[in-house]
Amino acid sequence: MKILHLDTNHELLINQLNNLGFTNHEDYTSSKQDIEAKISEYDGIILRSRFSIDKQFLDAATNLKFIGRVGAGLENIDCDYAISKGIELIAAPEGNRNAVGEHALGMLLSLFNKLNKADQEVKNGKWQREANRGIELDGRTVGIIGYGNMGKAFAKKLRGFDVEVLCYDIKDGVGDANAKQVALNEFQEKVEVVSLHTPQTPLTLSMVNSEFINGFKKPFWFINTARGKSVVTKDLVSALKSGKILGAGLDVLEYEKASFEDMFTSIMPEPFQYLITSENVLLTPHIAGWTVESKEKLAQTIVDKIKAKFC
Tell me the pairing of strands 193-196 and 44-47: unpaired
102 is catalytic: no
Contacts 24+ apart (CB under 8 A), 120-127: none
Q: Cβ distance 246 to 74 under 8 Å? A: no
> Phi/psi at 190 (nearest 5 deg)?
-105, -30
Strands 141-145 and 193-196: parallel
Alpha carbons 173 and 202: distance in angstroms, whole number = 22
Q: How many C-alpha atoms does 202 have within 13 Å on its Cβ side?
A: 2
- 14 backbone dihedrals φ, ψ, rounded to 5°: -70, -40
The sign of the dihedral angle between the CA atoms of 12, 14, 15, 18 is positive
Q: Which of 227, 254, 270, 296 is catalytic?
A: 227
Q: Which of 121, 186, 256, 296 is catalytic?
A: 256
279 is catalytic: no
User: Are residues 209 and 234 in contact, defined by beta-carbon separation less than 8 angstroms?
Assistant: no
Complete DSSP assignment for 71-114: SS--TTB-HHHHHHTT-EEE--HHHHHHHHHHHHHHHHHHHHTT
Burial label for 32, CB within 10 Å (0-12, 13-18, 19+), is middle
Say if CB 16 and CB 36 are below 8 A apart: no
Radius of gyration from C-alpha coordinates of the chain: 21
Q: Where in the sequence numbering do the catalytic residues fall? A: 227, 256
